Structure 1
Amino acid sequence: MTARKFSTKDLQVSAFDPVTYLDSDEAIAAYLEIALAENDPVFLMAALNDVIRARGVADIASKAGLGRESLYKTLKPGAHPRLSTVLQLLGALDIRLSITPAKSARTAKKTASKKSAATKRARMTSTPGRPVQAKMAPKPPVTTKRTTKTAATRSRLPG
């Protein structure tokens, strides 16, 4: 039997284009939010390019006050557009950037729920009419001297 080499034509796959899935404002916002969370400017600009293609390049260029050719140059790989240009494009897309602390809201919610659970447990363990006593710090473990000799100590002993 002879070995046959496969090519990409044999696989019958097509290139993935996210533009086909960016059909709602929610999908576009989620897509750009994930791209922004990556902290990669190249990836963010590629995502912005996808969104602009989904909405129509000529329409977004006119809303942003840019020429279509200028917009293509701004979005091409390796370009470093100014923040003002990116904000113009986001405005034309009816999208607004917002700033939040690096600590995610999910982490803050978990911390708040842990604190409230600890408060509930403290309330349940206290006797009615008596204040809740603070727990004492755990005692350090008692250390005992080792009675067995290790190989290192045996080699130092005479005999």
Structure 2
Amino acid sequence: MIKKTITTPYDVAEHLRTPKEMAAYLEACIEEANGDAAFIAKALGDIARAKGMTQVAKDSGLTRESLYKSLSGDRIPGFDTILKVISALGLSLHATPAIKK
């Protein structure tokens, strides 16, 4: 008899516990996004869920509903929304010279 393997969905938000982990995750997603803004928005959504969507909504001045929609990965939120969310998450954006491949 073959034993069935039981799996559970993986939720990265359960593994983002510290600001350092959140920043490293976002950095990795930006590197892997290849220009896909919705992918980066989804990564911000993962971090927001880890931090608590209600608190992020309060800190960003946005509603929970608009955050879920904006950060679902199904749409590309406005840059003002991205900046509000990044600030509410306690993160910041930095620019460095691009490395030519």
Shorter-normalised TM range? 0.7 to 0.9
**Partner residue of 2:99 out of 96, 103, 119:** 103
In structure 1, what is the Cα distance between the partners aligned to 2:72 and 2:39?
A: 12
Note the C-alpha offset of 1:78: 1.8
**Partner residue of 2:68 out of 72, 93, 97:** 72
Q: Do structure 1's residue 61 and structure 2's residue 57 form an aligned pair?
A: yes
In structure 2, what is the Cα distance between the partners aligned to 1:76 and 1:48?
A: 9
In structure 2, what is the Cα distance between the partners aligned to 1:25 and 1:76?
A: 21
The TM-score, its normalising length taken from structure 1, stands at 0.57
SS in structure 2 at match of 1:11: coil
Note the C-alpha offset of 1:76: 2.2
Q: Which amino acid aligns with 1:24?
A: T
**Residue segments in structure 2 that go unaligned for 5+ positions in a row:** none
Match in the other structure for 2:78: 82
Greater relative contact order, per chain length (Cα 8 Å cut-off, separation 6+): 2
Note the C-alpha offset of 1:43: 2.0
Note the C-alpha offset of 1:81: 0.5
Note the C-alpha offset of 1:95: 0.6
**Partner residue of 1:33 out of 23, 27, 38:** 27
The higher radius of gyration belongs to 1
Note the C-alpha offset of 1:80: 1.5
Deviation string for 1:54-91 (max 9, x for gaps)? 00001000100011111112112321111111000000
The TM-score, its normalising length taken from structure 2, stands at 0.87
Matched ranges for 1:1-159 at <5 A: 10-38=4-32, 39=34, 40-103=36-99
Deviation string for 1:107-133 (max 9, x for gaps)? xxxxxxxxxxxxxxxxxxxxxxxxxxx
